[in-house]
Structure 1
């Protein structure tokens, strides 16, 4: 079978007219122009294009940042903040150490007092402005200031920093028992005043009249005076005991013997002698309870009574004790042999 030779020219049906160059060259270079396929209509349909979010202020990049660059960008603000805080703390500690080394105690106390008063004045001014806006009168403001002066704590004795810690340790090391007792007493008195102010407010809200409040305050003052006198007597006795030892046992024996003689002279010893030692112990126990009550439950010792009037009262109140002891110990016959 014979194969016919290829045509010398390409088919040109439906093709554009070639340029001035030969047809063979155009056909080999460009080839036939095929129109693109028709696109489906997109009017009225939602946009399904995927958008990649980009941070505000960041330049759009075509490649994702590496992990090291992301970590560095994240920790950069934190590192800057830590550096600023460390600088501020070091500056504050250096300033406090400088104050501790160069500032005197008087200067430090004066500065702390001024700072505390300024703080309280600012707080009171803000409170006055807030309450004045809602209609607080001048009389109500004065009464509120009086209560605030009592309830407001005193200026802190020590600062809440390095200087305050050093001062506190120095005070505690050099504090004497008398200083500690005075400090605790002042704290108790302040707590008592604040508790009474709160009690006044609670009773006033419950309907207490001014006359009833004045009567209650008078009773409280009298109770405070009695408590102060009793505390002063106890402190005086404690100081007298610490001043120098006394022959307490000898004085106790002498005073008890005098009371026993008084019991025999009044007929108390002959009256309880037939009952035996048990009756004597019972009477001594009852008399001892009365004696302790008269001597502030033993805080005042028998040997510490000095003046004539208190001595006579002590001997008279201790007659039951001495009489019961004389009967219980079998010393009652010795009293009968005395030339009374």
Structure 2
């Protein structure tokens, strides 16, 4: 008895043969069913998970590292090859481009809010005054350049720079004041009148500043000029003391003694310094009507000094000399 060959596929549990009475190993027409899949797939290894996780990060890091290296190389090349004029021109172009982009964004926002061309022009004028100029780089290189400029500048250059900074600060403050008063309802006529008053004040301040500079230059003199000024001070003080004796101020202060004389001199000195711009105008520098007014105002000072130093009898002797 021969053994039949094994079936090409396993039998199906519960399946019925389409042909009654015919078994599956005798050539039945039952279709094979695929074997069931396993419930759990084999877990990947730690190396595979790590490789799948770091693959995108590695590609991104490679791209960023290449871009950073290229940018750093370009910057180092610029710092090593460009001149001072080229660097300043490049920074100026970058600054102007940034300012233009920011102004375009503000213009678009204000235009959407209903700003008129006249209002936009006025706003641009105020922004030009309030926006500080990019005079140096905002990094370590700019700091070194700024220190080098400050160390190497002369006293005249420093004075001119301080004056320019003060004028710019004044212009910015006035532009901010214009914007604030315009928002508060100031009319163009009122603004014009206020600007005219400010111009007159600026002229007076400039004249006063020029006179103080002339006095300061006159003070930077040799010992002979100091001696001359001291002699003039003694002469003018003696004239004022003689005037105080003539109006009997010295006689009134003499009974009080030196302490009363010092108090009178201190009070007169306060008035004298106030009239001479806080002492900026020296006694020896007064001329014309200013000299006559100063001699009259210095009478209390000279009289108090005469009483405090005890030279009042000398004034009495001088006034009784037969000069005629």
Structure 1 residue 195: deviation in Å? Answer: 1.6
Does 2:68 correspond to 1:85? yes
Q: Which residue of 2 aligns with 1:287?
A: 268
**Are residues 129 and 268 of structure 1, via their aligned partners in 2, closer, same or farther at CA, if it must alter by over 3 Å?**
same
Does 2:119 correspond to 1:140? yes
Structure 2 matches for 1:236-251, cutoff 5 A? 236-245=214-223, 246-247=226-227, 248-251=229-232
Picking from 192, 198, 216, the partner of 2:170 is 192
Do the aligned partners of 1:96 and 1:163 also contact (CA within 8 Å) in 2?
no
Q: Which residue of 1 aligns with 2:77?
A: 94
**Are residues 214 and 34 of structure 1, via their aligned partners in 2, closer, same or farther at CA, if it must alter by over 3 Å?**
closer
Q: Which residue of 2 aligns with 1:333?
A: 313
Do the aligned partners of 1:291 and 1:318 also contact (CA within 8 Å) in 2?
yes
Structure 2 matches for 1:201-212, cutoff 5 A? 201-212=179-190
Q: SS at 1:337's partner residue?
A: helix
**Could you report, residue by residue, the CA deviation over 1:233-261 in whole angstroms, capped at 9, with x for unpaired residues?**
22222222224442243332222122112
**Could you report, residue by residue, the CA deviation over 1:281-330 in whole angstroms, capped at 9, with x for unpaired residues?**
22211110011101111222323x15343332222221110001101221
Q: Which residue of 2 aligns with 1:220?
A: 198
Do the aligned partners of 2:254 and 2:307 also contact (CA within 8 Å) in 1?
yes
Instruction: Say how many residue pairs are matched.
Output: 291
**Could you report, residue by residue, the CA deviation over 1:7-58 in whole angstroms, capped at 9, with x for unpaired residues?**
xxxxxxxxxxxx7239xxx9xx99xx998699xxxxxxxxxx9888xxxxxx
Higher helix share: 2
Do the aligned partners of 1:257 and 1:322 also contact (CA within 8 Å) in 2?
yes
Inter-partner Cα distance in structure 2 for 1:190 and 1:70: 62
Does 2:155 correspond to 1:164? no
**Are residues 80 and 210 of structure 1, via their aligned partners in 2, closer, same or farther at CA, if it must alter by over 3 Å?**
closer
Q: Which residue of 1 aligns with 2:34?
A: none
Picking from 92, 111, 124, the partner of 2:103 is 124
**Are residues 307 and 35 of structure 1, via their aligned partners in 2, closer, same or farther at CA, if it must alter by over 3 Å?**
closer
Inter-partner Cα distance in structure 2 for 1:79 and 1:121: 35
Structure 1 residue 205: deviation in Å? Answer: 2.5
Inter-partner Cα distance in structure 2 for 1:35 and 1:121: 81
Structure 1 residue 122: deviation in Å? Answer: 4.2
Structure 1 residue 174: deviation in Å? Answer: 0.9
Q: Which residue of 1 aligns with 2:292?
A: 312
Of residues 257-266 and 65-74 in structure 1, the stretch that sits farther from structure 2 once superposed is: 65-74
Structure 1 residue 98: deviation in Å? Answer: 1.0
**Are residues 117 and 75 of structure 1, via their aligned partners in 2, closer, same or farther at CA, if it must alter by over 3 Å?**
closer
**Greater Rg over alpha carbons, structure:** 1
Inter-partner Cα distance in structure 2 for 1:174 and 1:289: 42
**Are residues 278 and 193 of structure 1, via their aligned partners in 2, closer, same or farther at CA, if it must alter by over 3 Å?**
same
Q: Which residue of 2 aligns with 1:323?
A: 303
Inter-partner Cα distance in structure 1 for 2:156 and 2:127: 30
**Are residues 51 and 274 of structure 1, via their aligned partners in 2, closer, same or farther at CA, if it must alter by over 3 Å?**
farther
Does 2:259 correspond to 1:278? yes
